[in-house]
């Protein structure tokens, strides 16, 4: 499994962090109706039990927002991907149907409140570090254009920053050609839920992405 660690500069600003990681071989295919039945059912349940104002109080989102503030980033301006996705669901806006892996990540994120990174391992250069975005850090984010990632929690490799809980980069993104997949669950608290989230994600990966050679770990300080 690719080596992942948490940098001291990050821990000095927010020490309550864990990363739930799954690495595996997958098959990227078109959206799967069975999984979309799960997504649709979950969205309907959320609309019945949750308001827009309550999203920020979902435990995993609440902790992550506090981490953003501690790092110096406004979580209302640079929304967590899990928060943005949940807001979209509650507003009855269509969720994008791209492929089975992206849909899978969205389902896990909606169910748990964790923001999740999804990466093509073959595009990652060397070891991975969780650190704090620097002034000079920018990247082209998926569907967002150039993203200012200064003061965000960022994953970086030997080629620079490539992922954050707000949006991942185009450089390491999932495509139809991806076969070697890395999933990172960003935990900034509520770590008792990470193991369950890993197990739920593994079930989905096996059922809907034909995952094999699965390796799992939780990265702690």
* Structure token digits, residue 153: 């929690």
Which strands sit side by side in the sheet containing 180-187, from one edge to the other? 115-120, 180-187, 18-25, 212-219
Positive/negative CA dihedral, 207, 113, 199, 126: positive
Q: What is the pTM of this model?
A: 0.96
Q: What is the largest CA-CA distance in the chain?
A: 45
* Structure token digits, residue 34: 């069975």
pLDDT in tens for each of the 221 residues of the chain? 999 999 999 999 999 999 999 999 999 999 999 999 999 999 999 999 999 999 999 999 999 999 999 999 999 999 999 999 999 999 988 888 889 999 999 999 999 999 999 999 999 999 999 999 999 898 999 988 899 999 999 999 999 999 999 999 999 999 999 999 999 999 998 789 999 999 999 999 999 999 999 999 999 99
Asked if 162 contacts 156 with a C-beta cutoff of 8 angstroms, the reply is yes
Fold of 4-219: Phenylalanyl-tRNA Synthetase; Chain B, domain 3 (3.50.40)
């Amino acid at each position: 499994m690719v080596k992942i660690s948490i940098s001291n500069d990050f821990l000095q600003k927010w020490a309550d962090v864990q990363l739930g990681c799954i690495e595996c071989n997958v098959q990227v295919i078109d959206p799967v109706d069975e999984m979309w039945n799960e997504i649709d059912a979950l969205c309907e349940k959320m609309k019945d039990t949750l308001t827009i104002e309550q999203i920020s109080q979902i435990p995993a989102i609440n902790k992550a927002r506090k981490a953003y503030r501690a790092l110096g980033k406004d979580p209302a301006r640079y929304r967590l991907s899990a928060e943005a996705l949940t807001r979209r669901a509650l507003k009855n806006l269509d969720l994008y149907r791209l492929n089975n892996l992206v849909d899978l990540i969205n389902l896990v994120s909606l169910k748990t409140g964790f923001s999740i990174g999804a990466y093509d391992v073959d595009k990652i250069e060397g070891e991975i570090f969780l650190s704090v975005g620097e002034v000079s850090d920018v990247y082209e984010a998926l569907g967002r254009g150039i993203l200012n990632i200064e003061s965000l929690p960022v994953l970086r490799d030997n080629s620079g920053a490539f992922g954050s809980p707000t949006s991942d980069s185009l450089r390491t993104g999932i495509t139809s050609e991806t076969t070697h997949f890395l999933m990172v669950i960003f935990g900034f608290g509520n770590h008792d839920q990470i193991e369950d989230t890993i197990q739920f994600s593994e079930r989905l990966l096996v059922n809907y992405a034909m995952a094999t050679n699965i390796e799992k770990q939780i990265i702690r300080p």
